[in-house]
Amino acid sequence: MEIIIQPTPEAGSIVAAQIIAKLVRRKPDCVLGLATGSTPLGTYRELIRMHREDGLDFANVTTFNLDEYVGLPLEHPQSYRAFMAENFFRQVNANARRTHIPDGLARDVPAECARYEAAIVAAGGIDLQLLGIGTDGHIGFNEPSSSLASRTRIKTLTERTRADNARFFHGDLAQVPFHCITMGVGTIMASREVLMLAFGANKADAVAAAVEGPITAMNPASVLQMHPVAKCVVDGAAAAKLARRDYYHWVFAHKPDWQKISA
């Protein structure tokens, strides 16, 4: 895994947006895997700025989101469909027909999961998957003990994840759904490139375990050690428990010119 440590979440978000923008410019019809939560918001803001000021064009980009709550009405402000519309899709020239999010209201959940997997394959597979990491090491909503080969399916959220996400529901835990549809760890691993973001001291343990710990279903993000092209962008606080921080800084400072990240 390539670990990119930036001083602040803002700086990390700019690096992440530059990595995504570079792909969109090189391959205007690329397939992006997208994420929700607090962490990617700065990246979306920077991509929106690039769209407005530099003409970064999303018209031909196809997107697949990682997950969706089961049972929340589409118009609920915390459905991931609503989150993505507000924080990204509506603010760039995304083509609605090319934006995909699992249908958390599907009557037949297993059929919806199979349909989602098939849609990813039909689009040619995901070129780059953006990820956050949960305080418990989850990616998407693949909670600890998720099969590392899993595909899109229903999951039951842990109490910790429900409590972490209660802040989006006015702190009212009772409103946080118990179930979600999430891409599996195997679905994420099938993407051609993975870009995981983690900001803040509350992510430091999960990041250290994912990057430097053993590969284990108890920290699903740790399987990214097996991905051929995985980058992890962290701020100083989220990097604080990485034993080899100095080495990661060294590597980033000595990248050959052709590998340097800029939009």
Active site residues: 67, 136, 138, 143
Per CB under 6 A, the segment of 14-22, 79-87, 112-120, 129-137 that binds ligand PGA is 129-137
Q: Which two tokens stand for residue 57?
A: 């064009």
Q: Which is nearer to ligand PGA, 98 or 203 (CB)?
A: 203
7 Cβ contact partners less than 8 Å away, ≥ 6 residues apart: 235, 236
* Euclidean distance between CA atoms 113 and 168, whole angstroms: 25
Minimum distance, C-beta of residue 149 to ligand PGA, in the bound complex (Å):
20
Q: Which is nearer to ligand PGA, 114 or 148 (CB)?
A: 148
Residues 159-198 touching ligand PGA, rule: CB under 6 A, are: none
Q: Which is nearer to ligand PGA, 134 or 184 (CB)?
A: 134
- Listing from the earlier edge strand, what are the strands of the sheet with 179-182? 67-69, 179-182, 153-156
* Euclidean distance between CA atoms 50 and 46, whole angstroms: 6
* Euclidean distance between CA atoms 135 and 93, whole angstroms: 33
- Listing from the earlier edge strand, what are the strands of the sheet with 230-235? 2-6, 230-235, 193-198, 128-131, 31-34, 62-65, 99-100
Q: Which is nearer to ligand PGA, 38 or 216 (CB)?
A: 38
200 Cβ contact partners less than 8 Å away, ≥ 6 residues apart: 9, 235, 237, 238
Minimum distance, C-beta of residue 222 to ligand PGA, in the bound complex (Å):
14
Count residues binding ligand PGA (CB under 6 A): 7
Q: What are phi and psi of 158, to 5 degrees?
A: -75, 160
Minimum distance, C-beta of residue 240 to ligand PGA, in the bound complex (Å):
16
CA nearest to 180, candidates 159, 152, 202, 160: 152
Q: Which is nearer to ligand PGA, 31 or 134 (CB)?
A: 134
Binding characters for ligand PGA, 7-46, by CB under 6 A (x = yes): ------------------------------xxx-------
Per CB under 6 A, the segment of 2-10, 45-53, 126-134, 232-240 that binds ligand PGA is 126-134
Q: Which is nearer to ligand PGA, 134 or 177 (CB)?
A: 134
* Euclidean distance between CA atoms 64 and 31, whole angstroms: 8
Interaction of residue 134 with ligand PGA, rule CB under 6 A? yes
Minimum distance, C-beta of residue 256 to ligand PGA, in the bound complex (Å):
32
Per-residue buried b or exposed e for 90-114, using 16+ beta carbons within 10 Å of the residue's own CB = ebbebeeebbbbbbbbbeebeebbe
Minimum distance, C-beta of residue 38 to ligand PGA, in the bound complex (Å):
4
Residues 137-166 touching ligand PGA, rule: CB under 6 A, are: 138
Binding residues for ligand PGA, per CB under 6 A?
Answer: 37-39, 132-134, 138
